[in-house]
Amino acid sequence: MNTREHQTKYQQQYQAIETPERIFSLLKPAVENETSLKVAADHSEELFQTSLLNIDYKRKLLTLRKINYTFGHLMVIDAKSLTIFSQHDGAEVSFSTYLSRYSERNGGYYEICFPEKVKYCQRRMSHRVHVSYSLNILAEFYTGTGQKVQGHLRDISADGLRLQLPEVNPNEFKEKSIIKNCRINLPDREQINCTLQIQHKHKHVRNTGCTIGGSFFAMSADQKKEIQKFIIGLERRLLREVRL
């Protein structure tokens, strides 16, 4: 698929995210994970690789690493507008912005304006919120063999979540299998009980265990309300931390 076909497909199905706190929570993992981004200058089909170094929420600026290609660097410097493309948990993310300034310090970087709207193209329609390790939100459940498993909640949406499971045998977790009686222990001592269907699995390279992504299965209306309340609280907490 060429770039134009890719962009046409992208424009046909996406969720527009416009609230600043949701945009921040969507882009923040790209800084933590040093995710590769691509930049197009003035709606050009030519893409240049960079990465997101920092998000200054107070000043409403993003910092991008200098493009390691002279032609691409000059196009960004001279551009009237920029389009940024990225990936987030299997979803395609893009937004339009402008160059605020360029600095040669620390190897060179661009400061671009915080986007007013982000296009979020995904198979699922609910925006996922990143969960920091510092919150130490744990989920617990039992495998079919009776083994108790405990993992860290890494992100969550109205449709599902992602759990990082250390010290487990990845072969025990099959795609489309069901995890019953999963309990998420929230910071305020409340709990969310749910059933998950595993959609994907990623084995850890540097240590044992795996990360699984699951969709909520047979959710009640009350459970959905609890999860949505928790997501809203996460976004507010994230924004408070940025403003400190």
Query: How many domains does the chain divide into?
Result: 2
Mean pLDDT of 80-85: 94
Nearest in space to 173 (alpha carbons), one of 143, 130, 137, 218: 143
Structure tokens at 161: 């979540």
Strands (E), 57-171: 61-65, 82-88, 91-97, 99-103, 109-113, 118-121, 129-130, 138-142, 148-156, 160-165
* H or E stretch covering 6: helix 3-12
The structure's pTM equals: 0.51
Q: Which domain holds residue 216?
A: 129-243
Angle at 90 between CA 191 and CA 173, to 5 degrees: 55
Specify the CATH number for the domain of residue 223: 2.40.10.220
Give the separation between CA 179 and CA 142, rounded to whole angstroms: 8
Do 135 and 99 share a domain, yes or no? no
Please identify, among 98, 121, 144, the residue that sits at the C-terminal boundary of a domain: 121
Calculate the dihedral angle through the C-alpha atoms of 182, 137, 210, 129, rounding to the nearest 10 degrees: 100
Q: What band does 6 get if pLDDT is binned at 50, 70 and 90?
A: very low
Do 98 and 183 share a domain, yes or no? no
Q: What band does 152 get if pLDDT is binned at 50, 70 and 90?
A: very high
Do 172 and 214 share a domain, yes or no? yes
Do 96 and 14 share a domain, yes or no? yes
pLDDT in tens, 167-190: 888 888 888 899 988 999 887 778
Q: What local confidence, expressed as pLDDT, does residue 5 receive?
A: 40
